[in-house]
Amino acid sequence: MIKEVFIIGIGGAVGSILRYTTGQYIAKHFPHAIPTGTLLVNIIGCLLIGFLIGFFDKQQIINAHWKFLLITGFCGGFTTFSTFAAENYNLITNNQIPQALLYIGLSVILGLLAVWAGLSISRLIA
C-alpha cells in the first residue's frame, strides 16, 4: 500500500504543478470574464482521463501502478473534475441516470454551499 500511495503522490504532484502553470499561462494570455484557465484544465483533464481509461482497457494493461500514477495521481492532481466526469459517465453508461443526476446536482449545490459556509465560518473566526 505504501508503494501505491507514493506512486499516486508523484503523479498528483506533477498533475498539480501542471494544473497551476497551465491555469496561470491561460489566464495571463487569454483573460476572459470566466476562469478560462480552470475551464481548459478541466476539459483537458476529462479528455485525458477518458483516453487513459480507454487505452488501458483496449491494450489490456493491468499493471495497477501505471493506473495509479496516471489516472489516480496525475489526472487527480491535474483536476478532480475529470474523475467526477468519468464517474458520471460510468453511471450514465450503466443506465443509472437518476444516480448520475443526483450526483451532479448534489456535487454542484453542496459544493457551492460548502464554499459559502467555509467563507462564512472564516469571517466569524478571523
Give pLDDT, residue 126: 65
Please indicate if the annotation marks 54 as binding a ligand. Answer: no
- Largest pairwise CA distance in the chain: 54
pLDDT band at 5 (very low <50, low <70, confident <90, very high): very high
Across 25-35, average pLDDT = 82
Q: How do residues 86-119 score in pLDDT, each as one tens digit?
A: 999 999 999 999 999 999 999 999 989 988 998 8
Please indicate if the annotation marks 79 as binding a ligand. Answer: yes
Its pTM surpasses 0.85: no
Give pLDDT, residue 7: 97
**Would you call 46 helix, strand, or coil by DSSP?**
helix
Distance from C-alpha of 19 to C-alpha of 31, rounded to nearest angstrom: 17
Q: How do residues 60-93 score in pLDDT, each as one tens digit?
A: 877 889 999 999 999 999 988 888 999 999 999 9
Across 33-51, average pLDDT = 86
Q: What CA–CA distances, in Å, run from 65 to 40, 59, 62, 71? A: 27, 15, 9, 10
Give pLDDT, residue 122: 87
